[in-house]
Amino acid sequence: MPGEGRLVLLGAPLGDPADASARLRDTLARADVVAAEDTRRLARLARDLGVAVGGRIVSYFEGNEERRTPELVEAALGGALVALITDAGMPSVSDPGYRLVRAALDAGVPVTAAPGPSAVTTALALSGLPTDRFCFEGFLPRSGGGRRSRLRALAAEERTLVFFEAPHRVAATLTDLAAAFGPGRPAALCRELTKTYEEVLRRPLGELAAWAAAGEPRGEITLVVAGAPAAAAPPTDAELRAAVAELEAAGTSRRDAVAAVAAEHGLRRRHVYNAVHPPAGA
């Protein structure tokens, strides 16, 4: 009946069909419309799962999502159970889906999910890097200049970073990462997660860049990079006075001691001078 329709986002297996949830199987069997990023891959997954997709199957990918979104929203408004599935992982996470979710919500269509595997959290968990705080950056800009600019902006990010990258660009991306973050920054390259040839390389960025340059890796790639070391807290005025006093005790003039302490901590000389000679009334 009208008003009972909804949109369900299906988290698809990254590679191993055994990772499919019971809710995914049930939704594929019951949905009135299944929108798939690749209908052939959907057919293969359904066959592997032994599921008969009873509803209408339509393609929904980057090239047609703008045109097809109103059609799917209209179906849900008319009472249809609409399922959206991408090639792997959760729809809308660097895959088609956001446009449909936004349009459905704006139209008052209930949106829910049958959650499943995610390359982001799987790679993060396998990386061996801190998982308490992280940020997902998706695909970096394809142009070298745009990519390097984005990485310079991220160089001081203290959270663990997760990126997706295409095999033919991963060597250039790793080279730019090593240049922006330093070759010694810990990282992990996760390839073909959950598939037969799964591989996780946990090495500093410089070593990963050299490895990728030696031969183009194949398959789906997720990069996990350690965040920048936490910035040290600036010294207090008392610590600055003590540092200047220590240099003076060793024979350095006060002027030179102030200059040396300022240079060591990246501070202006006036800042250190005011710590040693607090303004009247301070």
Q: State pLDDT tens for residues 112-166.
A: 999 999 999 999 999 999 999 999 999 999 999 999 999 999 999 999 999 999 9
Quick one: CA torsion of 84, 86, 90, 95, rounded to 10 degrees? -110
Enter the tokens of residue 47. 């066959």
Mean pLDDT of 32-44: 97
Place of tokens 């790639």: 221
Decide: 31 and 76 in contact? Cβ < 8 Å. Answer: no
Q: What is the mean pLDDT of residues 245-267?
A: 89
Dihedral sign, CA of 48, 51, 56, 60? negative
Residue 99 main-chain phi, psi, to 5 deg: -60, -40
What's residue 1's pLDDT? 38
The residues, ordered by sequence, that sit 6+ positions from 151 with a Cβ below 8 Å of its Cβ are 140, 176, 177, 179, 180, 181
Residue pair 28/46 in contact by the 8 Å Cβ criterion: yes
Neighbours of 268 (CB within 10 A): 9
- Is 82 in contact with 7 (CB distance < 8 Å)? yes
Banded model confidence at residue 2, pLDDT cuts 50, 70, 90: very low
Model confidence at 278: pLDDT above 90: no
What is the CATH architecture assignment of 120-225? 2-Layer Sandwich (3.30)
pLDDT at 281 over 60: no
State pLDDT tens for residues 150-209.
Answer: 999 999 999 999 999 999 999 999 999 999 999 999 999 999 999 999 999 999 999 999
| Each residue's pLDDT tens digit, 61-101 | 999 999 999 999 999 999 999 999 999 999 998 889 999 99
> Considering the chain, what is the average pLDDT of its residues?
93
Q: What's the pLDDT at 3?
A: 46
Separation between Cα atoms, residue 117 and residue 97, nearest integer Å: 16
What is the CATH topology of the domain spanning 6-117? Cobalt-precorrin-4 Transmethylase; domain 1 (3.40.1010)
Query: Which residue ranges make up each domain of the chain?
Result: 6-117, 120-225, 237-276
Q: Is the pLDDT of residue 280 over 80?
A: no
pLDDT given at position 234: 85
